[in-house]
Structure formats: structure tokens, C-alpha cells
A and B are shown apart, each in its own frame.
Chain A
């Protein structure tokens, strides 16, 4: 067989150049920057400078805690909801499927800024449609922006609205790749639909569910736009501050690149742990 080295690299070269400059090198560079004091000119190597500050910084732990809290509550709720959507959209009993699909999948194309603006307006204290509707059924208004708990809930509601349909699309595609005759055999054996779901659909779908979980965890971990725009820079008083927001504030408001890189690498470490757990969960059984 002819040696294809030259041909292959001619096809690869343009992409590899960009990939190296704007992805591979920054991954390394970010790690190195996290060990430098970057507010002196020139930067100097000081391994404990940023990392030492990080482990004693209440703002970091606040952001980490908020991010993990959102992760632990929002991601499972959203995946469960996406599962319900996917199962029901997959039902042969459902009429006008296109309309339902549109309703759940439409948020996938909506940009973060556009939907953040709408949510901010919908949930405003006195004139927000949500509080007006709560009032009209006799419930008290909720001050979504001045108290931490409702503000966190609002962020989670917004993210869930935006991403549940996205996960439902992936889960639905996974379900549709399960061969039909498995279900037919089960139906002939009088296995109920509910049991079919728990004993056929769920186990066969496990790799897809784990994939959705990992994707959502890594996405939510970097949450930035929603607390930036909806609850206005992580308000009230840092109550919805996330790691993404802390990184933005440190890197691009205070121009403290070293410290921001340490925050970024904390996220990377979390992502690596989660990916390893995924690999372990979906490993091939011998």
C-alpha cells in the first residue's frame, strides 16, 4: 500500500493548525499561567500564589458551592424530565407529534441572551407575568431576585427550560435505535409497559443517559450567562455566583489571569473526574 503520510497531512494541516493554536496550546498554557503571579510585570513563577489564594478564598468556595448545588439539583431533574418527554413523544398513542416536538425542542435554538432577557422580564417582582399569575390564583408573589433561594430556583428553572428538550432529542434517538422486536416479544409475554420501560428501555439506554448526564454536568459546571444576565452578575449579593462568573470576574474584570486560570483548572479537574466516572459506568462488561 502506498504511503499516505503526505496526502493525509495535507488534508489535516489547516484544522490541526487551528486546533493546536486555539485548543491544545491554551490547555497547556492555562495550566502554566495558574502557577504565575500575573499582576506584576513581567509575570513571575510563583507556584503557590494563585492556588494558595484559591483554597483560602471564601468567594471561590461560595461559587463552588453554588455551582455544585445547581448541578446536584438541576441536572437530575432535567434528565428525568427529558426522559419523560422522550418516552411520551415516542408513544404510538400520541397524536399531532410534530406540535409537541416543536414545543419541547424549540428552546434548543433560542440563544442564551434572548431567553435570559425573557426570563428576567417574566419573573420580575411587580410586573412579571409569573407573579401576576401566582397572584391571580391566590398565591403570594415571590421576590425572585432579592432572595437567594428563589434566585437559585430561577436559574435552575431557566436552564432546565433551555436544555431539557436538547436531552430529550438525544434520549429519543437512543430509544428509537432499540430494536422493535424486543418490545414485541415482551408484549407477547404480557409484560406491562411500565415493566418494559424499567427492564428494557432503561438498561439499554444506560450509555445514552450517562452521556446526557456528563454533557449536562459539564455544561452546567460552566454556567455563566444565566447568572450574569438573569440574576445580574450573580446576585443577590453573590447568591447565584458560579465558577463561570468568578472566572469572568477575575479574568476579565480584575485582569487577574493567573487566579482565573486556577479557577478554570478547578473546573477541568471536576470535568476529568466526571469523565472518568462515565468511562467506568459505561465500561464493557467482560
Chain B
């Protein structure tokens, strides 16, 4: 018995000796992001090795704000992500509900189109979306342009269809017998039951919107209408720019999401893992 447990102990030590350096390497870029964001620019571009935070975050932030209106851009990003998440959860859970709980004409075709096109690259729709929104609808540099086109995302439909179809029929049939209307059954019976799934979906959608770069870069390129990642991206590669400032911006984009991740890890992981178990 003791030889068995000492073998286990040796295996456990080997495991930690291998995994700890790998974990440190993985954390290193995030750690350096924080360190850079607290260093003055002449510190970042000095020959010494600096691995610990300094006290320059506020100055760096002020430099960032001088280079671009980052606070305004954060405001746009937050509003867009909140609105997008709410609308996408609502629309896709309604659609998922219909596909999970009703038999109707054309259902097979709709499910077929959603599944059949899900692995097509987003790049395929980029050009027509841009032409439509910018030229035909004249909506470039507006909130609508940031929020509405990305609502096509079918992740929520598949996710909520799966969740609703696993709920037992008698739950809803009991309400129907009493004459409760379908939309009330959806709102007041089905949605509350699906709360954990809705939370997972909302987190994934919020994150996607918050970090979205390519579409906002193309469609909202005017300084006053940029989201925070786009505003930050315009500074990368400029010659006279504060890198400490850029890093302060990166920290402001990243740290709130890390906190959300730590607090809601279970939902987060459920949301990502759900993609695989269709």
C-alpha cells in the first residue's frame, strides 16, 4: 500500500513539475501586459529586464486618452455589447423555442440551412454585408451597423433549441390545458427554466461582441464611432505613440473580462463546451 501511494506521490510531483512552467509561460503575456501598462515609455524601451509592475498606470492612461478618445470608445463598446447580447439572446431563444417545440411547415429546410452553412467562413459574407450596410442602407458609423448585422449568429439558436428540446412535454402541456397563450408559456415557463443556458449563452455573446474587431473596423471607422478594440488598433504601428498607453488600454479591455471569467467560470466553460456537444 505504501509503495503504491509513494508511486502516486512521485507521479503527482512529476505532473506539477511539468505543468507549472507551462502555466507560467501561458500567464506570461498577461502578466507582461499588466507590467507594461504600469511602466513609463522610456522604461519599456530600456535595455533592462523588468518583470514587476511600476506605478505609472494613470500617466499611461492619460497618454492613451490623448492619443485617442478611449473612454468614449469604451462607452460605445459597453453599450453595443449589452444591447447586442440582449437582442441576440432574445431572438435566438425565440427561434430555438420554435424549432424545439413545434411541428410546422418548412422546419426541416430552416434547420438544414442553419446547419449546412454553419461552417462557412465569416469572410464569405463580409463584402456583401459591407456593401449593404454602408452603401445601400447608408448606415456606416452608426450603432445599428455595429449591433444588427452580427445578430445573424446562429450559435444561440442551436444552443437554445437543444436546451428547450430536453425539457419534458408535460410542463408545457399542463399550462396549455389551462389556456395559457404560447408566448406566455415561452416567457414565463420555458425561459426561467433555461436560466443557466441563457447565462452561458449571454456570456459567450457578450465576449464575442466586446472583442469583435474586423466588422467594427470596417463599418465604423470614423473616430467618434469606433469601438474600443478598433480605437486601440489604430494606435498600434504608429511611430509617435505611447506604448504604455496602448498597454493601459489593453488592460482595460482584458481585466474586466478576466474578472467575469473567474466569477462565472462554470457558465463560461459550459458555453464554450456546448459548441462541441451538438
User: Chain A residues in contact with chain B, CB under 8 A?
Assistant: 1, 3-5, 7-12, 14-16, 18-19, 21-27, 29-30, 33, 85, 88, 91, 93-95, 99-122, 126-127, 129, 132-133, 136, 161, 165-166, 169-170, 172-174, 177, 208, 211-212, 214-215, 218, 221-222, 224-225, 229, 232, 243-244, 247-248, 251-252, 257, 260-261, 264-265, 267-268, 271-272, 274-275
Contact = CB atoms under 8 A, between A and B. Distances in A.
B78 interface: no
A98 B237 CA distance: 37
B1 interface: no
B123 A267 contact: yes
Given A113-B236, A169-B272, A224-B214, A118 B33 contact: yes
B229 A177 contact: no
Interface of B: 8, 11-12, 15-16, 18-19, 22-24, 26-27, 29-30, 32-33, 36, 44-49, 51, 91-92, 94-95, 97-99, 102-105, 107, 110, 113-114, 117, 119-132, 148-152, 154, 157, 182-183, 186, 207, 210-211, 213-214, 218, 229-230, 232-233, 236-237, 243, 246-247, 249-251, 253-254, 257-258, 260-262, 265, 268-269, 272-273, 275-277
A123 to B, nearest CB: 10
A122 B50 CA distance: 12
B128 to A, nearest CB: 4
Given A23-B125, A94-B16, A106-B26, 4 more contacts: A108-B261, A121-B32, A247-B126, A271-B119
Nearest to A215: B275
A173 B277 contact: yes
Contacts of B272: 108, 166, 169-170
B182 A261 contact: no
B26 A113 contact: no
B107 A8 contact: yes
Given A19-B154, A22-B125, A264-B127, A127 B276 contact: no
B102 A7 contact: yes
B246 A117 contact: yes
A267 B128 contact: no
B212 to A, nearest CB: 8
Contacts of B30: 106-107, 110, 118
Given A4-B104, A19-B152, A109-B260, A208 B276 contact: yes
A33 to B, nearest CB: 6
Question: Looking at chain B's contact residues, is the secondary structure mostly helix, strand, loop, or mixed?
Answer: helix
A53 B131 CA distance: 22
Contact of B95 (A12, A30, A169, A212): A12
Given A23-B152, A229-B233, A15 B94 contact: yes
Given A106-B27, A161-B29, A215-B275, A18 B229 contact: no
Contact of B236 (A91, A165, A229): A229
Contact of A267 (B44, B92, B124, B250): B124
B104 A8 contact: yes
Given A12-B110, A114-B253, A117-B246, A22 B44 contact: no
